[in-house]
Amino acid sequence: MPPTPSVRCDSPSFKIGLALALIRFNKIHRPSPSSSSDAQRWKRKAKDRKLEILGLREELKQLEAFGSENEIEQLGTSVDFLVEFTDNILVKGEIGPSFATFSHQAIDFILASLKNLLSSQKDIELIEDIVNGLIMRLIRRMCAIPENDVSGSVNSDSDPQFCVQHLIRKLGNEPFVGQRILLSVSQKTSVVIDSLLLMDPFDDSFPCLHGNMFMMIELMEFLISDYVRSWISIEDFDARLLEEWVRSVIQARKVSELLESRNGLYTLYMERVVGELAKILSPLASQGKLDVDILSYMCG
Looking at residue 248, its pLDDT comes to: 95
pLDDT tens for residues 228-257? Answer: 999 988 877 888 999 999 999 999 999 888
The string over 10-33, giving b where at least 16 C-beta atoms fall within 10 Å of a residue's C-beta and e elsewhere, is: ebbbbbbbeebbeebeeeeeeeee
Looking at residue 100, its pLDDT comes to: 78
Q: What percent of the chain has pLDDT over 70?
A: 74
pLDDT tens for residues 191-237? Answer: 998 888 888 878 877 888 888 888 999 999 999 999 999 998 887 78
Looking at residue 92, its pLDDT comes to: 67
Amino acid at 190: S
Tell which residue, 281, 171, 259, has the closest CA to residue 214. Answer: 259
Looking at residue 57, its pLDDT comes to: 62
Against a cut of 0.85, is the pTM above it?
A: no
Average confidence (pLDDT) over 291-299: 78
Average confidence (pLDDT) over 82-101: 76
Average confidence (pLDDT) over 128-157: 74
Tell which residue, 127, 17, 10, 21, has the closest CA to residue 71. Answer: 127
The answer to whether 136 touches 183, Cβ cutoff 8 Å, is no
CA-CA distance, 281 to 189, in Å (whole number)?
Answer: 22
Q: How many CA atoms lie within 13 A of 276 on its CB side?
A: 18
| 176: confidence class by pLDDT, cuts 50, 70, 90 | very high
pLDDT tens for residues 4-46? Answer: 444 454 555 555 555 555 545 454 444 444 445 677 777 777 7
| 132: confidence class by pLDDT, cuts 50, 70, 90 | very high
Tell which residue, 254, 232, 230, 250, has the closest CA to residue 295. Answer: 250
Helix runs in the chain, H state only: 12-28, 38-63, 68-92, 99-120, 124-142, 160-171, 175-198, 206-232, 239-256, 264-286, 292-299
